[in-house]
Amino acid sequence: MSRVEQDLQPAWLLHRRPFRNTSLIVELFMPALGRVGAVVRGGRKDSSLSPFRPLLVELKASGEMYSLRGCEPRAPAMHLQGKALYCGFYVNELLTRLLHRDDPHPDLWPLYEHTLNALQQGEMLDVVLRQFEIGLLEEMGYGIDLGHDIQGEPVRPDGYYQLNPEQGLLAASQGYPGSDLLAMLNGDWQADTRRTARQLCRALLAPHLGDRPLKSRELFRER
């Protein structure tokens, strides 16, 4: 094995943008490094540097960003089409917005790969996104216990709950139905549960997104 091959590490490209005349700045997601920014000199025309393509990259630290020294495909590109592709952008936008650069999250790597694979399967895309959002929030330390309220009492299927995104669920006379929260916990995704999960995840993400909403939400047309 040559030296270069040993230095190749798995990566997913989250985003690319032009830099100077012929170069690129890419945001990569990597198992050991988390989200990293890298300059690719002369990389503008390299079509293999694309989101949803499993890559092997060689990075060299240079200043506050890396520079990408080599890149090759690790497996064929994912085939995301239509809504599944919008979901892929959504997941990438979430990672770009929520992860800090150079903050490792090794447990997120398998979740990200699982999510892309599930999107490629194309079934229950909203559930795939909810599971990703819940896993991402947990990994970042912002997860909540869906089985208990903040007093430590088990969530009751006939109860209703309000959300305090920092602390968790509060028993109330109206709000998120306990039966849906328990169904989420058990992975039983009926239509009502999916609606509740969507609202709950939005509310959980909101404090971390600030006043700039996720742009990829605009791709999903309401009819």
Binding site for another protein (CB under 8 A): 14-15, 17, 21, 47, 50-52, 77, 80-83, 85-86, 88-90, 92-93, 96, 214-216, 218-219, 221, 223
Output the smallest distance, CB 204 to another protein, in A: 20
Q: Which amino acid is at 217?
A: R
User: Kind of pairing, strands 168-172 and 65-73?
Assistant: unpaired
Provide the 10 A C-beta neighbour count for residue 108: 22
Nearer to another protein (CB atom), residue 61 or residue 77: 77
Query: Residue 61: beta bridge partners?
Result: 66
Nearer to another protein (CB atom), residue 3 or residue 221: 221
| Spacing of C-alpha 203 from chain mean position | 16
Q: How many residues does the chain have?
A: 223
Among 80, 73, 57, which residue's Cα sits nearest to residue 11?
Answer: 57
Output the smallest distance, CB 221 to another protein, in A: 7
Output the smallest distance, CB 163 to another protein, in A: 26
Q: What single-letter DSSP state applies at residue 123?
A: S
Output the smallest distance, CB 60 to another protein, in A: 24
Output the smallest distance, CB 87 to another protein, in A: 11
Nearer to another protein (CB atom), residue 64 or residue 218: 218
Output the smallest distance, CB 47 to another protein, in A: 7
Whether the Cβ atoms of residue 87 and residue 129 lie closer than 8 Å to each other: yes
Nearer to another protein (CB atom), residue 60 or residue 215: 215
Nearer to another protein (CB atom), residue 37 or residue 165: 37
Nearer to another protein (CB atom), residue 116 or residue 184: 116
The span from the CA of 219 to the CA of 223, in Å, is: 12
User: Taking the CA atoms of the chain, what radius of gyration do you get in angstroms?
Assistant: 20
* Angle, CA 210 vertex, CA 194 and CA 197 arms, to 5°: 10
